């Protein structure tokens, strides 16, 4: 997925267009730019990751992503008001659900589900307005 910060403080995680080359370095640079702004934001994923998405990552890619998240965990906790996934939790494959729960718990970031884009935007505005941080049991 690629980051789209055009609607900041709402940051969308969008599918790559067919034929687009995925550029992890550009995604990392954009995330670091978000941190350097020092302003709270919410991440909204247009869809849940699929098992095939995870299979496409090399072990080196996963290690690099984990290193980066570990290095910038404090910034994520401080600036990311939450993450929202468009879709129903009950429709997720168990391994994906467990990965999401693990990420939320490890990073200390609230993770919510929304039925559609409009509901996701409403939740995002609530998260940004509340000033709350931290994981949610939801």
For the chain, the domain total comes to: 1
**Residue 54: inside a domain, yes or no?**
yes
| Rounded (5°) CA angle 99-110-130 | 170
**Domain assignment of residue 137, yes or no:** no
| Residue 24 located in a structural domain | yes
Evaluate whether residue 74 is within a structural domain. Answer: yes
38: left (phi over 0), alpha (psi -120 to 50) or beta: left
Q: Residue 138 falls within a domain, yes or no?
A: no
Q: Which domain holds residue 50?
A: 2-130
Secondary structure of residue 105 in the 3-state scheme: helix
Instruction: Tell me what pLDDT residue 136 has.
Output: 40
Could you tell me the two tokens for 63?
Answer: 């290690």
- 135: in domain: no
Phi, psi for residue 31 in degrees, rounded to 5: -60, -40
69-120 pLDDT, tens digit each: 888 889 988 999 999 999 877 777 777 778 788 878 888 888 899 989 999 9
pLDDT digits (tens, 9 = 90+) for 10-55: 999 987 665 556 667 788 888 899 999 999 999 999 887 666 666 6
Between 58 and 36, the more confident residue is: 36
Domain for residue 26, yes or no?
yes
20: domain CATH number? 3.40.525
On the question of pLDDT at 57 being above 90, the answer is no
């Amino acid at each position: 997925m690629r980051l789209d910060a055009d609607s900041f403080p709402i940051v969308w995680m969008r599918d790559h267009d067919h034929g687009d080359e995925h550029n992890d370095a550009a995604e990392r640079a954009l995330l670091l730019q978000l941190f350097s702004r020092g302003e709270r934001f919410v991440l909204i994923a247009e869809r849940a990751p699929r098992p095939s998405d995870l299979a496409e990552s090399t072990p080196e890619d996963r290690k690099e992503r984990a290193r980066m998240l570990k290095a910038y965990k404090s910034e994520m906790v401080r600036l990311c008001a939450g993450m929202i996934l468009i879709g129903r939790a009950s429709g997720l494959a168990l391994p994906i659900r467990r990965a999401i729960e693990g990420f939320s718990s490890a990073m200390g970031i609230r993770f919510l589900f929304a039925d559609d884009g409009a509901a996701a935007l409403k939740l995002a505005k609530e998260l940004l307005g509340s000033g709350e941080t931290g994981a949610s049991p939801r």
